Structure 1
Amino acid sequence: MKAVELYAGAGGLAMGVSLAGFESQAVVEWDRWACDTIRENQRRGYPAVQDWPLWGGDVREFDWGSISEGIDLVAGGPPCQPFSMGGRHKSFGDKRDMFPATVEVIRRLRPKSFIIENVKGLTRASFASYYQYILLQLEFPEVIRRDGETWLRHLKRLQEEKTSGAAHFSGLTYNVLPSLVNAADYGVPQKRERVFIVGFRSDLGVEWSFPRQTHSFDALLRSQWITGNYWDLHKIAKKNRPAMPARMEGRIRRLDAELIPLEEKPWRTVRDALKDVPDPRRKQKHTFLNHRFQDGARIYPGHTGSPLDLPAKTLKAGGHGVPGGENMMVREDGSVRYFTVRESARLQTFPDGYVFHGSWSETMRQLGNAVPVALGRQVAASVAEQLAETEIKALVNQRLRIRNRA
C-alpha cells in the first residue's frame, strides 16, 4: 500500500505508518532541524526511514503532479500552534493553519484514506464552528472555497451540501470519523490527548471505528494497590512503596469488588518506560544515544513534573520555561530533573536506535510535536487492515459477477 506523509516532523506518525506496512511515496517537512533528524537516521541506515523520499519544504510548494495515482493513505499532523492551549488560539486567523493545504492535497491525490492528527484544543467550544468547517472540508474536498469568499460563507455552502445528503453529491467525498483519544489508553507511557480525524473515500463503502483501547488507569490502580504486581515487577519492597493516594481510596475500593476486562493492560508508567535507562547524572559508560543530563530543572506553579508511577504528563514542544517546565520527572525523593532526549523519545515510543539532531531544546521541540510511534502504528494498521478487507471483498464480488455472467 502506498502512502504520503505531510508535516512529518521528526517522523513519529510517518514511522508508525511505515511500520504498519505502507510504502512512502513522499515525506514532506519544512523544518530543517526535523529534516536533519530524518536524514541523519537515513545516513545511519535506520531501516524504518532509510527509503523515505524526504522533501524539505512547504507542503503547498511540493509538485503533487509527480505522485502517481493510487495513493492508499495520506497522513500528517498539521501545525498545532493555531489550536494549542499554549498558542495564540487564532485558528483560521493564524498563517500556520495548514488545514486548507491538507484538504488541497487530499483533493488532488484522491487517496483511499487519510489520517489527520492534531491537539485536543481543536475541539474547544471557541473553535466549534471552525472545527466543523475542517471536518466538512475533508468530507467534501471538491467543494472549493471561491475567490473572495469568507470561510464562514464557505462553511454555509458545505453545510448545505451536507444537509442535501452526500449521496446526492457527484464529486469526491469521504466518510470522516473524528476521535479524541488518550495515548496512555494505547500503551504509550504518556497522558497525551489528541484528535485523530480518519477518513475513507465514500465509494469504498467502508465501515470503520477507531481501535479499541488496550490499556487503562483502572488496570494500573489494580496492579499497584490491589494485587501489588506492579511493585513486584519493579522489585520494590513493601516498606519502600509509596502510600496509597488518599484521593484514590474510594475508587480503589470499588475496583477491588469489580472486574476489569482481562484484555485491558495497566497504563504504562514513567518507571515502566525508563526502568533500564541509567541515570544520566552518574558517570558511567552506556550505549544510549541522546542520553545526556540537562541541568536547570525546577518546580514552579503549574509545572511540577511527572511522577514515576504514572504515565508522563504530555511532553511539550520546548526546552526551559513554560513549554519545557513539564518535561521533567519527579524522583522518589521529591527532587526533579529534566528528561533526557532519549528518555523523552522512550515516552514517545521512538526506538532506541533512532537519533535526534540538534540541541537539547531543539530536539525537545521535535519530540513535543511528534505523534507517539506506537499510537501512529496502531491507527495506521487498523486503516491498512480495513483497506485490505475492502480490496478482498471487491475482488470476490468481481469474480462472482464474472461467474454469474458465465
Structure 2
Amino acid sequence: MAPERLEVVEICAGAGGQSLGLHNAGFTHKLALELDQNAATTLRHNLARLLVAEGTSLEDADQEAASIVKVGDVADKALWDPYAYKGVDLLAGGVPCPPFSIAGNQLGATDERDLFAWAVHLCKDIQPKALLLENVKGLSGNRFSAYRQHILELLHDAGYVGEWRLLEAHQFGVSQLRPRFVLVALQKEYAAYFHWPEPSEDAAPTVGELLKDLMGANGWAPEHVAAWVEKASSIAPTIVGGSKKHGGADLGPTRAKAAWRQLGVDAMGVANAAPDASMDGDHLPKLTTAMVARIQGWYGKDYHWEFQGRKTTVYRQIGNAFPPPVAKALGEAIASALRKEVKRADSVESTRPDLDPVYLLLRHHPDKKPLTAQKLADLIAKSGGKKLPVPEIERRIAHIERDFHVEKTIRNNGELAYELGEFKAFIGQQDHARHDYFAQHRGKVS
C-alpha cells in the first residue's frame, strides 16, 4: 500500500523542475507561486496533466491546476495568505540566484531580489514541518558564511534544525555538472530522522548517449550522428537559463561555450530542429530545447513535461529549473524523515556548525561591547578555533558588513572596534527598498 501523499507549498516554482521531482517523491501541491507568466503557464498545464493521469476529469484538472498556480510576486500579501497554509508538510522553492551568483556582484542581503531570508522567515508564520530551498554554488562560499550562519540561527529560534549541502546533479543521474547549494530544515521532531540522499551508483549518461536518438531524428546521416556521439563523451557543463535582460537563447558565457565545443556542440544558440540530411559532419550541431530538457533531467516516462511558449522562453524555463531527479531524491529524503522511518545515529544539534567564528563573536560575545580585530583573533585562538590573522579577520568583517549593519568606533589607540547590527535582508518589511525596486523593474525581474 502506497503511503499517504504529503502536501507542499512551493514558492518561486518556475516551470516545475522541483515541482515534478517532489510530485514523484510523494508530494501534492497545495499552492505553487511563480512570477514569470510563461513558466507559470507551463507549470499549470503539466499539473493538470498529472491530475488527469490520477483520474481527475480534464475540466476539473484544469480548474484545480489554475487554483494551485498563482502568478505574481511571492512576497505580495495580496497574492496569497501564508497563514492559510499553516502546518503544511513542506515549504519549498528555488529563490532567485543573482544575489549569490559569482557571475554577478554577489550583493547578498542588499540585492533587492534576495528572497532567501524572507523564505526562512515564512517558517515562523506557517510552521511547515520541513523547509527545502536551493540556490547556486556561490552561496556556499566564504563570502556568505555569516549569512548562512544567521539563517541557521533564525531557523533554530523558530524550532528547526537546518543543514546546508552542496549537491551535484550528475550524482543523481542528470547528465550535467550543475552544482546546487541546498538548505533543508525540519522541526526537531522530524530532524532526527533526516538523511541526505545518497548519490546514485550508476554514472550519468554522456551527452552523446543521452541525445543520440534526438540528434538523429531529423535525417542527419547515421555516420555523422555516430561520430558526434563519440565526441560528446562526457556530461554537460551547467545549463544556463539567463534572465529577461539576456538577448536570445544560448548555452552560457565564454567558458561554457568552450566546454560545449569540446563536446561537439555549437553553443551560440538553440536550434529549432535537429540537424537534417543536408548537414555534413564538419559542422557542429546546435541543441534543441528538447535536448536541453533531457540534459536538465526531464527524461524517461516519470519525467515527461510539456513546455509552453516560444523557443527562447522555453529555453529559459528549462535552464533556470532545478533538475527533477535531484528534487525527487531530496523529496524522498524529506518524506522519509516526516514519516519517521529511520532515525539518525548522531545528535541533530551537531548539524549546526560554526560557519563563521567572527560573526558568532560579534553576535553573541557576552561582553556586548565593540570588539577590535585583534580582540576577535585572540578570542578565536583562546577558544581553540583555527587561528586567524588580523588581516583575515578584517576581510571577514568586510564580508559581514555587506549583509549586516556594522557599527565602527575608533579606540584611543586608533584601532577600529566593531559591533554587529541588524541583518539587511528583506524579510517582509513594508519600508524595504525591495518594494520600490520591484515596482520599477517588475518586467525585468527574473
Query: Residue 272 in 1 paired to residue 217 in 2?
Result: no
State which drifts further: 379-388 or 334-343.
Answer: 334-343
2:74 aligned to which of 59, 82, 87: 59
1:2-17 matches, cutoff 5 A? 2-17=7-22
| 106 and 271 in structure 1: CA distance in 2 versus 1, 3 angstrom threshold | same
**Residue type of the alignment partner of 1:338:** K
What is the letter of the counterpart of residue 20 of structure 1?
A
Query: Which one of the candidate residues 305, 317, 322 is aligned to 1:371?
Result: 322
Q: One-letter code of the match for 2:167?
A: V
Contact 1:206–1:390 under 8 Å retained in 2: no
Change in 2 beyond 3 A, CA 1:265/1:60: same
* TM-score between both structures, scaled by the size of structure 1: 0.65
Confirm or deny: 8 A CA contact 1:317 1:365 kept in the other structure. Answer: yes
Q: How many residues align?
A: 291
State the Cα deviation string for residues 289-337 of structure 1 (Å, max 9, x = none): xxxxxxxxxxxxxxxxx96111111000134567366475633967533
Report matched runs for 1:275-294 at 5 Å: 275-279=212-216, 282=219
Secondary structure at the counterpart of residue 9 of structure 2: strand
Q: 9, 21, 27: which one pairs with 1:22?
A: 27
Measured after TM superposition, the shift of residue 281 of structure 1 is: 5.9
Larger deviation, residues 197-206 vs 9-18: 197-206
- Matched residue SS, 2:185: strand
Report SS of the residue matched to 1:59. Answer: coil
Q: CA RMSD in A?
A: 3.0
Identify if the C-alpha distance between structure 1 residues 387 and 269 changes in structure 2 by more than 3 Å, giving closer, same or farther: same
Match of 1:323 among 246, 249, 252: 252
2:305 corresponds in structure 1 to 354
Q: Is the aligned partner of 1:106 residue 2:123?
A: yes
Letter of the structure 1 residue corresponding to residue 238 of structure 2? T
The residue correspondences of 1:2-401 to structure 2 (distance < 5 A) are: 2-42=7-47, 47=53, 51-52=64-65, 53-61=68-76, 62-65=79-82, 67-140=84-157, 172-204=158-190, 206-214=192-200, 264-279=201-216, 282=219, 308-318=232-242, 319-320=248-249, 323=252, 326=256, 328=260, 330-331=263-264, 335-351=283-299, 353-389=304-340
Task: Confirm or deny: 8 A CA contact 1:189 1:348 kept in the other structure.
Answer: yes
Q: SS at the partner of 2:337?
A: helix
> When the two structures are superposed, what TM-score results if normalisation uses the length of structure 2?
0.59
Specify whether residues 283 and 307 from structure 1 end up closer, same or farther in structure 2 by C-alpha distance, changes over 3 A only. Answer: closer
The verdict on how the C-alpha distance between 1:309 and 1:390 changes in structure 2, with shifts beyond 3 A counting, is same
Alpha-carbon distance in 2 for matches of 1:196, 1:132: 14
Cα deviation 1:37-95 (Å, max 9, x = unaligned): 22343566674996541011111123225634431111111100111122232111111
- Alpha-carbon offset, residue 194 of structure 1: 0.7
Q: Could you tell me whether the CA contact under 8 Å between 2:296 and 2:323 is conserved in 1?
A: yes
Partner amino acid for 1:342?
Answer: A
Once the 2 structures are TM-superposed, how far is the Cα of residue 350 of structure 1 from its aligned partner? Answer: 1.7
Give SS of 2:38's match.
helix
Q: 1:321 to 1:63 in 2, by over 3 A?
A: closer
